[in-house]
């Protein structure tokens, strides 16, 4: 009887241990599958793009295309001619600065830096640096909703910053059902939604700025297949929306083209 009781206790302990082990795996392995719909795309037009540009941010404003590029010793803020891909003017950053995402805000271009804890505000007309501000954590992507700057830092969190005080006022965590969407990168505000690149993912994710819920995805895996890209880091990155013409542009790091696309609803 003692042996039988011992076996029963051992069995219960093993079952309990397995349950604890499974619970310890965390939400990544046990979370529900993605629930949001996936759209395809159609290429409307394509334009030349500097294949040496390590694109970190893209913005279209009042007929002008702006781009922020990265890498130490190669980072820039530039204005680019859409039709030819030629750089019309640019600011080169010091070697210690790794440039990241950009947005156009009330006569300024705001650009983030990766690990320098620094945001940069440039005069849109002159490209002169007007001011700097402290950026807690890493800087990846930035856009705005006409009230706040919206910033990504490579996690599943979007931070909303008051441009007047340059301080965070709120944040949302991006979720598709129970699934956290991490490594949010370049951002763009498109007709009331935050659109984001996901680092090393060929999808765009559409996000509600109210609560961070995922509204849908855009599958761009066929735009420039990975097998044709020059390196693993030549990832999809760069979203620009022409609000006046309702045109959507996308590109990537070291991509030779900028594409104007339209969405195609999935099945």
Contact 99, 56 (CB under 8 A): yes
Instruction: Give percent of the chain with pLDDT exceeding 90.
Output: 86
Q: Which residues contact 163 (CB under 8 A, 6 or more apart)?
A: 105, 106, 144, 148, 149
Average pLDDT over residues 22-35: 43
What is the pLDDT at residue 267? 55
Regarding the domain delimited by 36-264, which CATH topology (the fold level of the hierarchy) does it fall under? Neuraminidase (2.120.10)
Q: Which residues contact 208 (CB under 8 A, 6 or more apart)?
A: 193, 194, 214, 215
Coil, helix or strand at residue 227: helix
What is the pLDDT at residue 35? 85
What is the pLDDT at residue 33? 53
pLDDT digits (tens, 9 = 90+) for 94-122: 999 999 999 999 999 999 999 999 999 99
Q: Which residues contact 249 (CB under 8 A, 6 or more apart)?
A: 58, 60, 65, 82, 238, 239, 240, 241, 242, 258, 259, 260, 261
pLDDT digits (tens, 9 = 90+) for 168-210: 999 999 999 999 999 999 999 999 999 999 999 999 999 999 9
Average pLDDT over residues 58-76: 98
Model pTM greater than 0.85?
A: yes
Read off the pLDDT band of 266 (50, 70, 90): confident
Q: Which residue has the higher pLDDT, 105 or 5?
A: 105
Read off the pLDDT band of 17 (50, 70, 90): very low
What is the pLDDT at residue 265? 87
Torsion of CA 246, 124, 65, 161, to 10 degrees: -60
- Output the average pLDDT for the chain: 90
Closest C-alpha to 158, from 214, 201, 119, 104 = 214
What is the pLDDT at residue 7? 41
pLDDT digits (tens, 9 = 90+) for 210-239: 999 999 999 999 999 999 999 999 999 999
Distance CA 5, CA 251 (A): 66
Average pLDDT over residues 57-68: 98
């Amino acid at each position: 009887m003692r042996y039988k009781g011992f076996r029963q206790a051992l069995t219960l302990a093993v079952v309990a241990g397995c349950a604890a082990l499974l619970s310890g795996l965390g939400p990544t392995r046990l979370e529900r599958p993605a629930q949001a719909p996936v759209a395809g795309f159609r290429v409307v037009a394509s334009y030349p793009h500097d294949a040496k540009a390590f694109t970190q941010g893209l913005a279209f404003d009042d007929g002008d295309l702006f781009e922020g590029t990265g890498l130490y010793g190669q980072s820039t803020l530039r204005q680019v001619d859409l039709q030819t891909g030629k750089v019309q003017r640019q600011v080169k950053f010091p070697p210690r600065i790794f440039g990241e995402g950009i947005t156009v805000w009330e006569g300024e271009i705001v650009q983030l830096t990766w690990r320098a804890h620094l945001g940069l505000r440039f005069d849109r007309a002159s490209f002169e640096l007007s001011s700097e501000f402290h950026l807690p954590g890493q800087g990846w992507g930035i856009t705005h909703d006409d009230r706040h700057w919206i910033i990504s830092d490579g996690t599943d969190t979007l931070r909303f910053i008051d441009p007047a005080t340059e301080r965070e006022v709120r944040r949302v965590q991006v979720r598709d059902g129970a699934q956290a969407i991490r490594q949010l990168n370049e951002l763009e505000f498109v007709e009331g939604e935050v659109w984001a690149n996901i680092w090393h993912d060929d999808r765009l994710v559409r996000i509600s700025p109210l609560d961070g819920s995922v509204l849908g995805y855009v599958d761009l895996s066929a735009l420039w297949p990975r097998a044709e890209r020059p390196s693993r880091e030549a990832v999809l990155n760069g979203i620009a929306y022409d609000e006046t013409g309702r045109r959507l542009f996308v590109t990537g790091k070291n991509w030779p083209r900028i594409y104007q696309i339209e969405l195609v609803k999935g099945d």
